[in-house]
Amino acid sequence: MSYVYIQTQKQNNYALIRFSHKESKNALSTLALEEIVNAVENFDSDDEVRSIIITGENDCFSSGIDLKELGANIDDLPQLLDRQKNAFISLANVRKPLIAAAAGYAFGQGIELLLNCDVVLAADNLCLAIPDASLGIVPGIGLEKKLIEVLGRAKTMEMMLCGRAMMAEEAEKVGLVSRIVPLSELENEAIKTAGIIAQSPEFTAIAIKETLKAFENPSYSAGIDEALMRAKIISGSDDFRLYLKHFSQK
């Protein structure tokens, strides 16, 4: 299958999905997100694939939500938000281990994509930030829940309200990423990690993932619904439409 926003490859016992749309700085438009999920689901059902790597460019994993798409579809935002919600829920339900290999910057929904992966390898140049509030947007669809579980309330509020950036070293220290890898070794290390996973029986990896999910807060879907409801309320307001129009003109 051919894609617009991503490239895929399958080799040995792993699959690699490369988010590669430099024109938009890997912005997560609804179609881009759905392409990623479609590729993940296809590999999830492929008996030859034991784990799935998601990566981006050396200078950009994802710039976050696609503001151009929001501006061009202002009257259809509730439908777009529903599609994004369904995509993230589908991603959360993938059975096989997901490995993120992230370099450069990951903003807003780009962080949400990262946190839906099971092992997160960060290049030493990784920068995480959530500028959404300054753009008049409620950050993410379920991102709040994932962040508050790892960071606690104070750090989550600071990142979301103030847009404070978090570099790779701090992200590793607080547990947002598994470990830091030199940029030049990032993809090879992700492939090596996929090989280690493949050494165990497939049912073991799936069972471990399902067991850990069972220990997580079961209210994930409810949290997504809450975030989606508030995003829809804001997107329907005149203030938001005016703000987005002015921002797009900049």
SS3 content of the chain, % helix, strand, coil (to 5): 55, 20, 25
- What residues contact residue 243 under an 8 Å CB cut-off, 6+ apart? 135, 136
Total domains in the fold of the chain: 1
Determine the pLDDT at residue 144: 85
Determine the pLDDT at residue 248: 58
Residue 180, in any domain of the structure: yes
Residue 1, in any domain of the structure: no
Determine the pLDDT at residue 178: 98
* Exposed / middle / buried, residue 154 (Cβ in 10 Å: 0-12, 13-18, 19+): exposed
Determine the pLDDT at residue 71: 79
The residue among 114, 123, 117 whose CA lies nearest residue 187 is 123
CA distances for 172 relative to 59, 181, 230, angstroms: 19, 11, 30
* DSSP of 186-230: HHHHHHHHHHHHHTS-HHHHHHHHHHHHHHS-TTHHHHHHHHHHH
Cβ atoms of 148 and 140 closer than 8 Å: no
Determine the pLDDT at residue 229: 64
Determine the pLDDT at residue 246: 64
Half-sphere exposure of 116 (CA within 13 A, CB side): 27
Residue 245, in any domain of the structure: yes
Determine the pLDDT at residue 129: 96
Determine the pLDDT at residue 60: 96
Determine the pLDDT at residue 141: 76
Tens-digit pLDDT profile for residues 188-201: 999 999 999 999 88
- What residues contact residue 206 under an 8 Å CB cut-off, 6+ apart? 95, 96
How high is the mean pLDDT in each 10-residue block of the chain (250 residues)? 93 96 93 97 97 96 90 82 91 96 96 96 97 78 85 94 96 97 98 95 88 69 60 64 62
Q: Which two tokens stand for residue 67?
A: 């503001």
Determine the pLDDT at residue 75: 79
Determine the pLDDT at residue 212: 83
Determine the pLDDT at residue 245: 64
* CATH code for the domain in which residue 83 is found: 3.90.226.10
Query: What are the φ/ψ torsions at residue 135 (nearest 5 degrees)?
Result: -100, 0
Angle (nearest 5°) at CA 127 between 69 and 190: 95
pTM, full prediction: 0.87
Angle (nearest 5°) at CA 65 between 60 and 71: 130
Residue 117, in any domain of the structure: yes
The boundaries of the domain holding residue 13 are 6-249
